[in-house]
Amino acid sequence: MLTLKLINEETEHVIKGLEKKHFKGAREAVEKVLEYDRIRRETQQKLDSGKQQANRMSKQIGALMAQGKRDEANAIKEQVAELKASGKALEEILAKAEQDLTELLCQIPNLPYDEVPEGADASANVVVKEGGEKPELPADALCHWDLLKKYNLVDFDLGVKITGAGFPIYIGKMARFQRALEAFFLDEARKSGYWEIQPPYVVNEASGYGTGQLPDKEGQMYHADMDNLFLIPTAEVPVTNIFRDVILNEQELPIKRCAYSACFRREAGSYGKDVRGLNRLHQFDKVEIVRIDTPQHSQESLKEMLNHVEGLLQKLELPYHILKLCGGDMSFTSAICYDFETWSAAQSRWLEVSSVSNFDSYQANRLKCRYRHAEDKKIELCHTLNGSALALPRIVATIIENNQAEEGIRVPKVLVPYCGFEMLDDKNF
């Protein structure tokens, strides 16, 4: 969340940033934060002053009693009792102000960087780079959901029977192909210096709060009510929370971690062509890369992460472009975000396969993730970053559609050593 120091010292800058992100009621929210903070500080001052006065007066009571001045001592006792009663009332006011302040800060999104484009929705996103060549498919080319059915690679109906829509079952070579992609992505992350983590797939409330998934304003997380645990929407949540309530040394940064996990998202409100086949699922696999860095180096880390994801798409021989998201299309917690989209030839549309974000100090402030400067030992908030490297379903969709042939689906050369076959079909399970 945003720091009170930033909101107090750069109020107009904060309001303009929130308006760029199309946060409704930006000025009103900031003014409320300042009001709650004023009440909190003034109440704390009154409380501290009252305690000091009560302590001074309490010290007088013993001396007065020793001098036989019982009436004066009792009078002071009554004043001390009144101060204590007043203090309890002030403590209630303080607790309420702090609670209101925290709840409001949790509802305010991160500020976008200056280079983030203006705009209210995806139509204002800016293409910053393109790569690869779009394949030319015959007129009778099939979309991936038809190809998956033709070669008996994924059973959507069986997934509905066992669980529900959005939980497909991968069969035979496709199950092996999924595993091959996961191994390839993890190996490439390791080569780039990321230390692999195998995290839990459920997290507690504190972890969801730390990375900004909670409070869950859009109801996108699956919640196990009895244990108050949440199924992770991405490995970003457990991996980043490793560093919750931690003070790192500057020499340790940047910290680079990666993890494969299943991801769970309710995707409430999704409908139409966007949910067909593998386009949008409730459960899917993904390899995530996470960095913890200093404010001075985090933008360089972002560039390195973008280069890493781009390299994966190039090795998979997929046509892609990179979008810089506008203020209105960014996530709640991002300060800047780039989306990678691959060209789905049979659907004639771009499919998002990765988002790479710098959160600045927004997550770190919630996480209490800090680092100690090497020279002056000053403690400062870290910057956190994460990116999909990569999410499997739409990668699989584009690979299948773009590489379809009469005899089956050609496997990208880089994946052949991982899966042990060159064609995706219903043979040799």
Full residue range of the structural domain in which residue 53 is found: 4-106
Instruction: Please state, in angstroms and rounded to a whole number, the distance separating the CA atoms of residues 338 and 323.
Output: 5
pLDDT tops 70 at residue 305: yes
Residues 87 and 133 grouped into a single domain: no
Could you tell me if residue 373 is inside a domain?
yes
Could you tell me if residue 46 is inside a domain?
yes
Could you tell me if residue 290 is inside a domain?
yes
pLDDT band at 273 (very low <50, low <70, confident <90, very high): low
pLDDT tops 80 at residue 65: no
Residues 338 and 305 grouped into a single domain: yes
With contact defined as beta carbons under 8 Å apart, do 185 and 192 qualify? no
Of the residues 72, 106, 140, which one is the last residue of a structural domain? 106
pLDDT tops 80 at residue 101: yes
Residues 129 and 54 grouped into a single domain: no
pLDDT tops 80 at residue 63: no
Residues 45 and 76 grouped into a single domain: yes
Residues 382 and 260 grouped into a single domain: yes
Residues 102 and 129 grouped into a single domain: no
Could you tell me if residue 113 is inside a domain?
no
What CATH number has the domain bearing residue 336? 3.30.930.10
Residues 213 and 300 grouped into a single domain: yes
pLDDT tops 80 at residue 429: no
Could you tell me if residue 112 is inside a domain?
no
Of the residues 106, 130, 156, which one is the last residue of a structural domain? 106
Could you tell me if residue 117 is inside a domain?
no
pLDDT tops 60 at residue 176: yes
Predicted confidence (pLDDT) per residue in 193-251, tens digit: 999 999 999 999 999 999 999 998 788 999 999 999 999 999 999 999 999 999 999 99
pLDDT band at 23 (very low <50, low <70, confident <90, very high): very high
Residues 39 and 184 grouped into a single domain: no
Q: What is the mean pLDDT of residues 335-356?
A: 97
Residues 40 and 100 grouped into a single domain: yes
pLDDT band at 271 (very low <50, low <70, confident <90, very high): low
pTM comes to 0.92
pLDDT tops 90 at residue 7: yes
Could you tell me if residue 114 is inside a domain?
no
DSSP per-residue letters across 247-295: EEEGGGPSEEEEEEEEEE---TT--GGGGSTTSS-SEEEEEEEEEEE-T
With contact defined as beta carbons under 8 Å apart, do 263 and 286 qualify? yes
Residues 271 and 305 grouped into a single domain: yes
Instruction: Please state, in angstroms and rounded to a whole number, the distance separating the CA atoms of residues 48 and 69.
Output: 28
> Which residues sit opposite 385 in a β-bridge?
291, 358
Could you tell me if residue 250 is inside a domain?
yes
Residues 287 and 373 grouped into a single domain: yes
Predicted confidence (pLDDT) per residue in 177-197, tens digit: 999 999 999 999 999 999 999
Instruction: Please state, in angstroms and rounded to a whole number, the distance separating the CA atoms of residues 242 and 262.
Output: 18
For residue 32, what are its two tokens? 């409320």
pLDDT tops 90 at residue 67: no
Residues 206 and 350 grouped into a single domain: yes
* Exposed / middle / buried, residue 197 (Cβ in 10 Å: 0-12, 13-18, 19+): middle
| Number of neighbours of residue 54 by Cβ within 10 angstroms | 19
What CATH number has the domain bearing residue 50? 1.10.287
CA distances from 289 to 200, 283, 403 (A): 16, 19, 27
pLDDT tops 80 at residue 274: no
pLDDT, mean over the chain: 94
Q: What pLDDT score does 272 carry?
A: 57
Count of the separate structural domains present in the chain: 2
Of the residues 43, 73, 106, which one is the last residue of a structural domain? 106
Strands 283-293 and 383-391: antiparallel
